[in-house]
Chain A
Amino acid sequence: MDILYSIFADPFVQMVSLPDFFIQVLWEGLVAGVLYSLIALGFVLIFKASGIFNFAQGIMVVFAALAMVGLWELGVPGWLALILALGIMYALAYGVERFVLRPLVGQEDIILFMSTIGLTFMLIGGGQWIFGGEPKTMITSELGLPTGDTVWEPFGGIVIFQHLDVAAIVIAGGMIAGLAFFFSYTKIGRALRAVADDHQAAVSVGIGLNQIWVVVWFAAGIVALVTGIMWGAKSDVSFALQIVALKALPVLVLGGFTSIPGAIVGGLIIGIGEKLFEIYWGGLIGGGTESWFAFIIALVFLLFRPQGLFGDKIIERV
Chain B
Amino acid sequence: MISKDQVKHIAGLARLGLTDEEIEKYQKDISSVLDYVEKLEKVNVSGIEPTSHSVRVENATRKDEIKSFDGRLMDLAPDKKENYLKVKSILK
Q: Do A and B bind each other?
A: no
